[in-house]
Structure 1
Amino acid sequence: MSLRPLGALRDRSDLQSLGYLVAQALLMGLQWLHGFAWPAWLASLFLAVGISVIHHNHAHLPMWTRRGLNRATDLAITLLQGHPTCVFHPTHRLNHHRHRHGGDDAMRTWRFGDHNHLAGWAMHPLQASVAVYPLVIRWLGRVRRLHPGAWRWYALQYLLWLASWGVLLAIDPARALLLVIVPQLFGLHWLLAANYLQHAHADDRSRFGYARNFEGLLNPLLFNIGLHTAHHEHGRAHWSSLPALHRRYRARIDPRLLEAGLARYVLRVFMLAPLMPALRSRSLRATAAFNHKDR
């Protein structure tokens, strides 16, 4: 699908991305000045998840055709997300997309047990962080030795993030935690937890069986993040092109990896399955291994 540029913006659909970034800054700022409000805070939690997806998309295909605007967006995402954008390169592009949830993927869900339940989803971000941050440290070390200019740019992102937290905590610790840091941590949790939703109980050894796909309302709200097979197959495709690409692959994906919506999946697998064993998720990886052994 061809892009639809708007000035220096690579595709005009990223007006939605820019809207989310601006709205999050406004919600945090207005609550800081005028006090906590439940509707605004809940909207901020949602936007924190959206910004984690924007970060993901921007890392794969920069939003702008101009380097300066892309760098400014990197810094804006760093401030609003509460973590440097540079970490996506070693953890996601060089690791997860290269190995597609296989044995060399540091974030593979079955590394921590081949399960798919609420406790596994809740713990996966913590487990994955411990697993992948050594990759970040080693990568930054190589960048510092071989590309000092790039390393200074990444160091600036870390400095900006830590300075923003330090300044806000110094001004008002309670407001900083409630209005800024908690939403940021919520968004970062979902950024890593999405890996569990998309890959737990999938089969990395199957050509199109390595990822679960979510259709429905999730996609227009969160930049087609549910159409994961198409994204893996076309990592440099703009997120707006994923529905058309998904239709191309849909017939080749195991029906058990096609979900009509995220909410009903969470209700069935995480909430009802512990009470109703028939609804429990089954490992396609383990099933494939058993069938192969049985032949």
Structure 2
Amino acid sequence: MRSPPARRLVLPRLRHWRDWQSLAYLALLPALSAWQWVHGFSWLLYGPMLFLTLGISVIHHNHAHMRLWRGRRANRFTDVWLTLLQGHPTFVFWPAHVANHHRFRHGPRDAARTYRFGGDTNHLWGYLIHPLQAAAVLYPLFIAWLATLRRHWPGAWRYCMTQYAWWLGSWAALLALDWHRALLFVILPQLHGLHWLLATNYLQHAHADGRPGTKGGSLDYARNFEGLVNPLLFNIGLHTAHHEHSHIHWSELGRLHRECYRARVHPALNERGLLTYMARVFVLGALVPRFRSRSLMPASALPPP
């Protein structure tokens, strides 16, 4: 009697070869954290580790729009890995980002629109406080989303709650092991990444036009950042092209920005670099009025909060 053929090991396949950069970031961040946990704090490693928390936030965002792998199991594993590295469940991108921000495009129905909180601002305090303001209005979306899942898709609800268990369980275990190291090498870097994850909305939309709100209208709802931020952080600065083509791979955004959108966006919304923009608007603008940005949305068009 012939024995059944042995099963071949099928390795997971990336959807796009450029995501080897994503995998490098996903491996390097915990490696730097673990090395310092064992050998002690090092500024030469802590600085790059904080930068990598930004990269994890962008990978988290990209994975929500286009799954990293072609296989379900590999994507599920990546969900858990991102949850542990980000310090927050992966599923939140669906109710907060895809179903809200991409649907309403900084318009009056966008829950975290930048002009919702104290008027149409673009200054340092607005940038710093925006993550807390956004979290306050987005968490009700998460709760409503989970309630809907529990009623109609209990399996999906259990999967989301499992992500909470992994995240909170990892914090509890690390804090019990050594709370000083847990705070310094895990939790504070995660909070740094979460700040940038939420504050990016302010950078990309404050003082942009919030009137269009729907696809097919004006493209002046988002700000674009060119320069080094894009090769380092997966083209996260090219926000107009991403909004208009949210289901394509991030590596295609550079071409789309150059060929299709750069010339169609208001010149004030195309910035050469992220850090120069922040220095000019948030620092110099606080001292010299001519360095401040100007809103593209007239006060008469501002919807009520």
Name the TM-score, length of structure 2 as normaliser: 0.91
Which string of whole-angstrom CA distances, capped at 9 and with x for unpartnered residues, describes residues 254-281 of structure 1? Answer: 0010000011101110010111111111
Aligned to 1:146: 152
**Which position in structure 1 is the counterpart of 2:288?**
276
Corresponding residue SS for 2:294 = coil
**2:249 is the counterpart of 1:243:** no
* Letter of the structure 1 residue corresponding to residue 19 of structure 2: D
Deviations 1:222-252 (A, max 9, x none): 0000000000000101000000111111111
Q: CA deviation at 1:42?
A: 1.1
Query: 1:148 offset after TM fit, Å?
Result: 0.7
Within 5 Å, which residues of 2 pair with 1:59-138? 59-112=64-117, 113-138=119-144
Structure 2 regions of 5+ residues with no counterpart?
Answer: 1-10, 213-217
Matched-pair identity in %: 61
How far apart are 1:289 and its partner, in Å?
4.5
Residue in 2 aligned with 1:15? Answer: 20
Q: 1:157 aligns with which of 163, 167, 189?
A: 163
Larger Cα Rg: Structure 1 or Structure 2?
2
- Between the aligned partners of 1:86 and 1:7, the Cα distance in structure 2 is 22
Q: Does structure 1 conserve the Cα–Cα contact (< 8 Å) formed by 2:33 and 2:49?
A: yes
Per-residue CA deviations over 1:142-191 (Å, capped at 9, x if unaligned) read: 00110011111111100000000000001111100000000000000000
Structure 1 residue ranges, 4+ long, deviating more than 4 angstroms after superposition: 287-290
Q: Deviations over 1:170-220 (max 9, x none)?
A: 111110000000000000000000000000000022510000000000000
Q: What are the residue-to-residue correspondences of 1:200-239 with 2, within 5 Å?
A: 200-206=206-212, 207-239=218-250
Counterpart CA distance in 2 for 1:242 and 1:97 is 16
**Aligned residue for 2:33?**
28
> Which of 11, 19, 43 is 1:38 aligned to?
43
What TM-score do the two structures reach when normalised by structure 1? 0.94
User: Counterpart in 1 of 2:268?
Assistant: 256
Matched positions, count:
285
Is residue 111–residue 138 contact of structure 2 (8 Å, CA) maintained in 1?
yes
Provide the residue aligned with 2:62 in structure 1: 57
2:251 maps to amino acid: S
1:174 aligned to which of 148, 172, 180: 180
> Within 1, Cα distance between the matches of 2:40 and 2:280?
38
Contact 2:134/2:198 (8 A) holds in 1 = yes
